[in-house]
């Protein structure tokens, strides 16, 4: 079993990934603590959970902008840009693999290397996640954070009656993504090979499942 001599993920990409991952998990946990303080008291009171939620949220925003700056200045944004085929034939082949082929031991339909890090379904998913869901969640979160700072703007968009459920909806969509992402991260040559690649930067050679 060998590994590629060229890293699949750079140090910056790995650090950026893990900061985003930890921040998202903590935001989900603090969000539950805010909504269900009696059941999720690990952050103390609801006030403390809300304070942590805000700090972590701003940290995630800063890390997202740093990631955006890196991917554009290093010209690595093409990894996240789907081709027209990715929305049709490529996505269908990848979905079939996840739903059927992976359980039959079939090889991955798309090779992964330092120039093609994401499969078609991943590119479509990340395009939606980073360009639609993340900005949506940031906007609704900022408006809720600014309730005492911009009360007129807050009321114009419906106040907590609208923003509360809207922000919660985004949170549950992110939670669904995290669950799916964690599961698919176990579908490599071994249950931990893809996780190891995101830590060391190198992936074992040969076909992988995910």
Predicted pLDDT at 121: 83
Domain residue spans of the chain:
11-200
* Mean pLDDT lowest among 6-10, 56-60, 126-130, 141-145: 6-10
Half-sphere exposure at residue 5, Cβ-oriented, CA atoms within 13 angstroms: 0
SS3 47: helix
Q: Give pLDDT tens digits for 150-198.
A: 878 777 777 888 888 999 999 999 999 999 999 888 877 788 888 888 8
Tokens of 73: 């200045």
**Residue 75, phi-psi category: left (phi > 0), alpha (psi -120 to 50), beta (remainder):** left
Q: Give pLDDT tens digits for 94-118.
A: 888 888 888 888 888 877 776 777 8
For residue 4, pLDDT over 70 is answered with no
Percent above pLDDT 70 for the chain = 89
Tokens of 195: 């996780």
- Sorted by sequence, the CB contacts under 8 Å of residue 202 that are 6+ apart come out as 3, 4, 7, 8
Residue 84 and residue 73: Cα distance in Å, rounded? 25
Q: How confident is the model at residue 89 (pLDDT cuts 50, 70, 90)?
A: confident
DSSP 116: B
Q: Name the average pLDDT for the chain.
A: 83
> Architecture of 11-200 per CATH?
Up-down Bundle (1.20)
For residue 201, pLDDT over 90 is answered with no
């Amino acid at each position: 079993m060998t590994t590629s001599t060229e890293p699949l993920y750079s140090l910056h990409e790995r650090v950026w990934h893990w900061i985003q991952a930890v921040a998202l998990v903590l935001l989900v946990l603090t969000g539950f603590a805010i909504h269900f303080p009696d059941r999720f008291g690990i952050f103390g009171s609801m006030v403390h959970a809300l304070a942590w939620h805000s700090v972590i949220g701003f940290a995630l925003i800063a890390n997202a902008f740093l990631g955006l700056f890196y991917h554009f200045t290093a010209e690595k944004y093409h990894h996240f840009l789907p081709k027209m085929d990715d929305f049709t034939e490529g996505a269908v082949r990848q979905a079939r693999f996840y739903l059927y082929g992976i359980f039959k031991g079939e090889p991955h339909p798309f090779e992964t290397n330092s120039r093609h890090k994401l499969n078609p379904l991943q590119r479509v998913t990340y395009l939606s996640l980073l360009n639609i869901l993340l900005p949506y969640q940031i906007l609704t979160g900022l408006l809720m954070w600014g309730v005492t700072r911009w009360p007129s703007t807050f009321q114009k968009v419906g106040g907590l009656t609208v923003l509360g459920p809207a922000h919660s909806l985004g949170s549950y969509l992110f939670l669904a993504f995290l669950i799916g992402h964690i599961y698919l991260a176990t579908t490599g040559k071994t249950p931990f090979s893809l996780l190891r690649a995101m830590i060391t930067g190198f992936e074992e050679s040969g076909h992988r499942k995910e």
